[in-house]
Structure 1
């Protein structure tokens, strides 16, 4: 029997469907120090962002020779040493289509929250403070949204922002995208200079460090907003706090952090920050789609 280990949770109907097809599914989170040994007993591991599948774990699994497939339920695979796993003959797959709409909507939610002080006024009112005159916000209609990275999530966000009356510009490592003629392509520095809102949709590459650091924040428009629903590490958190404190940025929407759970209390308690605990894909609809994609990957692999 093919055994599947689900470490970070999975939509319940998807698990039922796998079991109905004769797969054995074990739902259990294992600490890093014992995960490699446990993988000697499984053909597939399904992870989200909490479980890290690094070289030592891959080595133990590869030595046993049973593990054939690692699936990331979500888009980013930076918690998996992908190239190393493939060198060891283990396939790595993700579910890039399932959560695009959910992450795009969260980015938009942060934009609204910052623009109209939903984040901080919600807190102050619960403290009995009526700061009506203090919260003079801005409309997003008529503003320019700069998308850093133009993949599936950015495409979803671009459509939604355009419908709300925003001008969308984008940059991408591959250059101008063929099917994005309705939006203007520009280089990163130009995008940062022109955008009222900058939303990041790029992976974190440890060797390259933060894509948005002090130099990039200095280039941005005075009073602009920064949204990161991509990956922790793509923004220098220290430089971000400095930009918020100085008023260079009017606000930041942050769903992902360098360390998770984050211990950066200055950032999460900053009055100019709208913050969420890495919930970009945490919608019922996205979880159903992720489950369906995982099922398809497993079926196709073992058919």
Structure 2
């Protein structure tokens, strides 16, 4: 089986696939849709980060593709609904780089409070500007966290540890950590916070979440940080509020349009502004986080492709089957309607095949069943199962295949 890894996925992923007998191709950058379609011919598994877009057109043009690994937190770069319709499993690393993002944001909070970006630039320019003007301690100031998930809650904990007060807003019902206060609305949070840090996901409803109206609501002299998704923020509006002096600084790690490859030209209306930190989408880019992500996602992908396990899949029902008990295993993704399991079992019984183990789970509109049998299932019987009315995709494993 063939694996294609894009966007500088950590070398440990390649090692994992190679150890399991996969043929691995590695490319440094992301690929635009036409090049991606060409590259995916004959590929069983593709590994990407945030810049590669797996659209419905890409999925339709990649008939051999069985699994997608997002070596990052987000999966909004993948058409998940269409991947499910095509029977392609999608996996990501929802927790592996949490600490790395939190440490970057904490460092930015401290740096912006002391106006370090402009101080260090003036020193490099040969200007000695020893002044306390505009420099503050973070102790006792309020950090407003928008999005209180894995990253938001850990940031909440470390911010309290350095003496900050924490407020948060989330549309989901989240348990407050420590002394953090839940705000009833985003507007309320903006009006109370000295620092606002975004940690929302990439769902379409979050596009344009933060614009001129929200920046205007922020406290005069406040700081803004975005380490979530580029499409969430209107960078032109942010520029105007920095230039006007309404905001005292910002740190931005993600952008609506990002260069495709290392060394490509980066364009942004935020370039050249005092007390603004711009980083090239490196929130989770530490050696520790990238190695952990590489190990986690590649392990999930190999388990799925080699055994049918879908544990922690983004788009498929969660099934963690026991080690194969018989001579043959098959996994059927199907529409979640009554009678599918009976149809599978009746088809096997009619063929004289005995079931020795079976695991089933459903998720929304789909179900997923892994079945072990005491002997090989004939091609004719497999064809019958593939033509079960509600079947989406069927994969099979046998000792012969291994």
Query: Could you state the TM-score of these two structures normalised by the residue count of structure 2?
Result: 0.71
Residue aligning to 2:122 = 124
5+ residue gaps, structure 1: none
The answer to whether structure 1 residue 90 and structure 2 residue 95 are counterparts is no
Residue aligning to 2:223 = 225
Verify the 8 A CA contact 2:12 2:295 in the aligned structure 1: no
How far residue 298 of structure 1 moved from its aligned partner, in angstroms, is 1.5
The structure in which a higher percent of residues are helix is 1
The answer to whether structure 1 residue 21 and structure 2 residue 24 are counterparts is no
How far residue 207 of structure 1 moved from its aligned partner, in angstroms, is 5.6
Q: SS of 2:191's equivalent? A: helix
Aligned residue pairs, count: 297
How far residue 135 of structure 1 moved from its aligned partner, in angstroms, is 4.9
The answer to whether structure 1 residue 200 and structure 2 residue 198 are counterparts is yes
Residue aligning to 2:177 = 180
How far residue 32 of structure 1 moved from its aligned partner, in angstroms, is 2.4
Residue aligning to 2:41 = 40
How far residue 134 of structure 1 moved from its aligned partner, in angstroms, is 6.4
Question: Which of residues 272, 277, 281 in structure 1 aligns to 2:275?
Answer: 272
CA distance in 2, matches of 1:22, 1:182: 50
Q: SS of 1:40's equivalent? A: coil
How far residue 181 of structure 1 moved from its aligned partner, in angstroms, is 6.2
Verify the 8 A CA contact 1:117 1:135 in the aligned structure 2: no
How far residue 151 of structure 1 moved from its aligned partner, in angstroms, is 1.0
Verify the 8 A CA contact 2:157 2:177 in the aligned structure 1: no
Deviations 1:182-212 (A, max 9, x none): 4211121111111111100012344653111
- Output the aligned Cα RMSD: 1.7
CA distance in 1, matches of 2:158, 2:205: 33
Residue aligning to 2:188 = 190
Verify the 8 A CA contact 2:168 2:180 in the aligned structure 1: yes
Q: Which stretch of the first structure deviates more once superposed, 27-36 or 218-227?
A: 27-36
Q: SS of 1:132's equivalent? A: coil
5+ residue gaps, structure 2: 260-265, 308-402
CA distance in 1, matches of 2:157, 2:178: 13
Alignment of 1:283-298 (within 5 A): 283-298=286-301
Alignment of 1:136-175 (within 5 A): 136-175=134-173
CA distance in 2, matches of 1:59, 1:249: 46
CA distance in 2, matches of 1:180, 1:112: 21
Higher relative contact order (CA 8 A, sep 6+): 1
CA distance in 1, matches of 2:240, 2:134: 23
Deviations 1:259-303 (A, max 9, x none): 113411x40211131111111111010011101111221132122
Deviations 1:49-75 (A, max 9, x none): 2212122211201xx2x1111111111
CA distance in 2, matches of 1:128, 1:181: 44
How far residue 247 of structure 1 moved from its aligned partner, in angstroms, is 1.2
Residue aligning to 2:334 = none
Residue aligning to 1:9 = 8
How far residue 133 of structure 1 moved from its aligned partner, in angstroms, is 2.1
Query: Could you state the TM-score of these two structures normalised by the residue count of structure 1?
Result: 0.93
